[in-house]
Amino acid sequence: MTSNGEAVLRHIRLILDSEKKLREEVSLINCLCKGTVKLGAVNSICVNYFPDIIRTFNKNFPFIDVHIYQGGYRDVEIKVADGSLDLGFVSYPTFEDVPSTVLFNDRILCITPPGFHPSNDGFVTVDDIQKMDFLLSRNSYDRSTMEFIREKKLLANLKHDISTDIVTITLVENGMGISIIPELVLQNQNHKCSIYPLKEFAYRKIAIATPPNQMLSPSAKNLWLIYKTTSISVWI
């Protein structure tokens, strides 16, 4: 598509979005509370947060449909930026220029094969990681985590470049290397890996992003409110 075509498409999306918000405002005035919310996030957020959020939301707003989009960090950001999503759970700082509010820090932990013993009890050092084959779990890393990996030269012993968390976890628990991974990814996972905090604290910042130059629809505002009331305990 040409640049002129993309500009026209953006204007068309803004017009359609404004029309949708107007319909929702009318529905609220008429006490119908109808509408649609398009919500996006990476896999670990979808698994750990969306069930409770959407269950509570559906109970309070049964006539508002929630559409979930699960993708990578950049995928979600791009769809928020072009207005395809109303709300997106992203990593901060973002690549796209989208309004973002940081919600909480998600620790980066080290996973090791069962029976692994770090040089210091209770945590893993960069030296511990550099002595073993390193597994890169690409889709789990945001920009900050990749900067940490490069800064500590963890790619020097890169053995496997993996795109899915479950494969990384399976290879580690079978003794094929060591990896670092966000804490949320490891929740609700049935695995045999040993888990250690890193000596040098690292984390990804999870934020909520909204489309630029657009007001949130009433439906999206209600979903945002439900998130804050059901997940307040994990905020920074």
Question: Which one-letter amino acid corresponds to residue 118?
Answer: P
Q: What is the pLDDT of residue 8?
A: 46
59, burial (CB in 10 Å: exposed 0-12, middle 13-18, buried 19+): exposed
Is the CATH number 3.40.50.720 carried by domain 3-99+210-234?
A: no
Q: What is the pLDDT of residue 19?
A: 55
Q: What is the pLDDT of residue 98?
A: 93
Domain 104-204 in the same topology as domain 3-99+210-234: yes
Q: What is the pLDDT of residues 134-166, one digit of tens each?
A: 998 877 788 888 888 999 999 888 888 888 888
Q: What is the pLDDT of residue 170?
A: 93
Mark the ranges of the chain whose per-residue pLDDT is less than 50.
4-5, 7-8, 11, 15, 22, 26, 29-32, 232-236
What's the rounded Cα separation, in Å, for the pair 149 and 77?
22
Q: What is the pLDDT of residue 233?
A: 43
What's the rounded Cα separation, in Å, for the pair 93 and 102?
9
Could you tell me the residue ranges of all domains in the chain?
A: 3-99+210-234, 104-204
Q: Which CATH class is domain 104-204?
A: alpha beta
Sign of CA pseudo-dihedral 182, 142, 13, 101: positive
